[in-house]
Amino acid sequence: MRQPRDTEIADSRETANPLTPHPSPARVEGDRTTEWPSVLVIGGGLAGLATAIALAPRGFQVTILEARQRLGGRAGSFTDPTTGQLVDACQHVSMGCCTNFAHFCKTLGIDHLLAPQPTLYFQTPDRRVSRFKADPWPVPFHLGRALLSAHYLTAIEKLRIVWGLFALVRESPDADPPLEEWLFRHRQTRRTIDRYWSLVLVSALNETVDRVGLKYARKVFVDGFLKHRDGFVVHVPTVPLGEFYGDDLRSWLARHNVTIRENAAVKRLELGPTGISQVLLREGTTVSADFVVLAVPFERVTDLLPNEGSFFETPLTGLVPSPITSVHVWYDRPVMTLPHVVLIECLGQWVFSRGEVASGEHYVQVVVSAARAFRGLGREEVQRQILAELARLFPAAAAARVLRSKVVTEHAATFSAVPGVDRFRPGSRTSLPNLFLAGDWTATGWPATMEGAVRSGYIAAEAILKQLGRPEALVQPDLECWFAPTDRRLQSRA
């Protein structure tokens, strides 16, 4: 991949060079100079970072407050105490349909750290593998041969799935009945649900098919597989996330005068006569700014807001968290010949081979989304079950020696995309003129993904610009859609 120069978010409709940043953080009014507004971003995850990179090149004085000693939020790494290696808490991947995350990475100059995976590998418990790859045929037939060659589906099941996909395209993008009921109504069986629909959706939505609504399931399949030939291509970071959101990102922020304050946990936002007057840190000091963007997980929002009154109509109590568990294993030899495997009817869903990370240490990560089945089990039991499964699936793993392993569970990894979940997702604006929200749980039109987080930051920046009388479209357009050429970009709900 070509590494691009520094860019700023730009409206694709502009005729001027969209990559030219604002020349100065100050504007001249008459015979005096006035500073651009200051923005305090609470949270250094993707939503907060996206807000910062949208506003900083446009002259705003941006400060990021992050409670931890790193950036990236849930997309982060921890240091293995045994070796000092950076290890991702959970494997994060993007897809070709994630246009705003791709733009975010290009802007920061870190897109070269993503490796596309044009072929996906699907494995059943009997160790048979099918390859899923696009052909140079028109969309949506580009994936036809990949589906036809899937060894884990019968010919009748493949016809059922094609019928279901056709019905999915014809559905309204806003329809959101319970997905499983919809699938049964459209000629799907328990086996096609388990071996196809669940296979994709549990990983994409971090939720089981019996709990999700149609809307975001449709989005995954339409945007990821049916809309554009590049939509399904998975992009995997080639370095730990601690490095991915590391030096290059920090250099970009420094060049754009963004202040980063780590270990700066917020205790409370304090209310003044015209909005948020200041932010109280846990250490006891306060900071203030013209605008405050609250970019923290949804379960923390209420605790940080002032007690007086309600600041948005949407009841956040309707958002339900869903867990993700990842099991990290270091073997004394290679155990996989493929870069990744999607598992069918197994305990794990994805297995990623990260290669030899140190002399004689070969690292494998297993991801289990919607990991409620592990609730109540100790880490030793989870580890035992996953190691046993790896030994059954990969003969080399049965013969290899486990050097060490680690189980990491994030209990509130994402919100659950239940039917009608959008009624619980607030927009970026609040009832206070200087308080805005960002996060993958806000009203982005996307499920809880890195793409949704970045979109939320861009939407919050759009709302601030609009309030200042400088409206600008920052959310990047989706990939072109063969069956809806007039499909418009997501509109801000600010």
Task: Using alpha carbons, select from 104, 12, 32, 24 the residue that is nearest to residue 58.
Answer: 24
| Cβ-based burial of 134 (10 A; exposed 0-12, middle 13-18, buried ≥19) | buried
What are the domain boundaries of the chain?
Answer: 1-78+93-117+236-320+424-494, 135-228, 321-414
| Cβ-based burial of 13 (10 A; exposed 0-12, middle 13-18, buried ≥19) | exposed
Flag whether pLDDT at 23 surpasses 60: no
Flag whether pLDDT at 223 surpasses 80: yes
Q: Which CATH number fits domain 321-414: 3.40.47.40, 3.90.660.10, 1.25.40.10, 3.40.50.720?
A: 3.90.660.10
CA dist list (Å): 118 to 23, 95, 121, 133, 235: 40, 10, 10, 6, 9
Name the CATH architecture for the domain at 1-78+93-117+236-320+424-494: 3-Layer(bba) Sandwich (3.50)
Using a cut of 0.85, tell me whether the model's pTM lies above it. Answer: yes
Flag whether pLDDT at 147 surpasses 60: yes
pLDDT per residue over 165-212, tens digit each? 999 999 999 999 999 999 999 999 999 999 999 999 999 999 999 999
pLDDT per residue over 275-286, tens digit each? 999 999 999 999
51 with 461: CB under 8 angstroms? Answer: yes
- What tokens appear for 478 in the block? 């989706």
Q: Do domains 1-78+93-117+236-320+424-494 and 321-414 have the same CATH topology?
A: no
Instruction: In whole angstroms, give the CA distance from residue 331 to residue 329.
Output: 6
For residue 481, what pLDDT is reported?
Answer: 81
pLDDT per residue over 44-102, tens digit each? 999 999 999 999 999 999 999 999 999 999 988 988 888 888 999 999 999 999 999 99
pLDDT per residue over 341-363, tens digit each? 999 999 999 999 999 999 999 99
Mean pLDDT of the chain: 90
Q: Look at the alpha carbons of 469, 472, 475, 481 in this order and tell me if their dihedral is positive or negative.
A: positive
102 with 95: CB under 8 angstroms? Answer: no
- What tokens appear for 460 in the block? 């919050």
